[in-house]
Amino acid sequence: DAGVIQSPRHEVTEMGQEVTLRCKPISGHDYLFWYRQTMMRGLELLIYFNNNVPIDDSGMPEDRFSAKMPNASFSTLKIQPSEPRDSAVYFCASGLTIKRFNGYTFGSGTRLTVV
């Protein structure tokens, strides 16, 4: 099992550009989360999906942020247009909650720098 796979690992972009972060959850997992981590705000929950359906997107900071999960094996987080304050590490996590649930698995994160 390769775990939760995020790409790219690092992204440097100019202000105003569109940024797309990608996540491949562990096969069979029914929950998928997107988090953002900064020194100032810690780990912020942006949005999460259950069986590919968005359940709560109240953490998405602005309309510039959007997330999709077109199928059980892929999710994207898009920022358009990007701003310097979006610079952070973005984590994706997935979990299987049926049967004996035992926590979520996080990806290695995407470090986004907007200049």
Return residues touching other proteins (CB under 8 A): 31, 33, 35, 42-43, 45, 48, 50, 55-56, 91, 93, 95, 97, 101-109
Q: Which of 17, 12, 14, 37 is nearest to 107 (CA)?
A: 37
**What minimum distance in Å lies between the beta carbon of 16 and other proteins?**
28
Query: Is the separation of the CB atoms in 25 and 106 below 8 Å?
Result: no
Question: What is the rounded distance in angstroms from the CA atom of residue 13 to the CA atom of residue 69?
Answer: 24
**What minimum distance in Å lies between the beta carbon of 108 and other proteins?**
5
**What minimum distance in Å lies between the beta carbon of 1 and other proteins?**
14
Specify the residue, 81 or 111, whose C-beta has the smaller distance to other proteins: 111
**What minimum distance in Å lies between the beta carbon of 39 and other proteins?**
10
Specify the residue, 70 or 103, whose C-beta has the smaller distance to other proteins: 103
Question: What is the rounded distance in angstroms from the CA atom of residue 78 to the CA atom of residue 94?
Answer: 18
Specify the residue, 16 or 60, whose C-beta has the smaller distance to other proteins: 60
Question: What is the rounded distance in angstroms from the CA atom of residue 96 to the CA atom of residue 32?
Answer: 9
How far does Cα 71 stand from its chain's mean position? Answer: 15
